[in-house]
Amino acid sequence: MISLHGRTVVPGYAEGEALVSPEPISGWGGIDPAQGRIIEPRHILNGYGFSGKVLVFPSAKGSSGWSALFQSTRLLGTAPAAMVITRISTKSALGAVVTRVPAVTDLDQDPCLLIRTGDWVRVDATHGLIEVKPASGRR
Partner 1 sequence: MILTDDEKRMRDGAEGAAVAAAMDLLIRYGDALACDRLCDVRNVAGTMTQPSPVKERLVAHGGWDKAFAVINLDCDDDIEVPAMRVPTCQLQHGFGADAKGIVPYPQRKIELQQQAEAFYGRRGVTILATCTPYQVGNIPVRGEHCAWMESSAVIYANSVLGARTNCEGTASAGAASLTGKIPCWGNHREENRHGTHLIDVRTPVDGFLDWGMLGYFAGGVAGEEHPVIAGDLARPDLAGLKHFGAAAATSGGVELYHIPGVTPEAPTLEAAFGGARTPEPAVYGPAERQAVYDTLNSQGSRPDVDFVLLGCPHASVDQVRRAAAALDGRRLSPGTELWLMLPRALRDVADRSGYTAIIERAGGRLLGDSCPAMSRAAPEGTRVFATDSAKQAHYLPAILGIEAWFGTLEDCVDAAVTGRWHGSLR
Q: In this chain, which stretch among 36-44, 47-55, 110-118, 130-138 interacts with partner 1, using CB under 8 A? A: 36-44
Q: Does residue 44 belong to the site contacting partner 1 (CB under 8 A)?
A: no
Q: Is 89 a catalytic residue?
A: no
- Residue with smaller CB distance to partner 1, 51 or 120: 51
Query: Can residue 40 be called a binding residue for partner 1 (CB under 8 A)?
Result: yes
The one catalytic residue among 59, 63, 92, 136 = 63
**103 and 96 Cβ atoms separated by less than 8 Å:** yes
Q: How far apart are CB 128 and partner 1 at their closest, in Å?
A: 11
- The CA distances from residue 97 to 31, 93, 125, 137, 138, in Å, are 18, 6, 12, 35, 33
CB-CB contact of 126 with 13 (8 Å): yes
**φ, ψ of residue 73 in degrees (nearest 5):** -65, -35
DSSP state of 25: E
| Interacting residues with partner 1 (CB under 8 A) | 7-10, 24, 29, 33-34, 40-42, 59-68, 71-72, 75-76, 88-91, 93-98, 100, 103, 106
Q: Catalytic amino acids?
A: 63
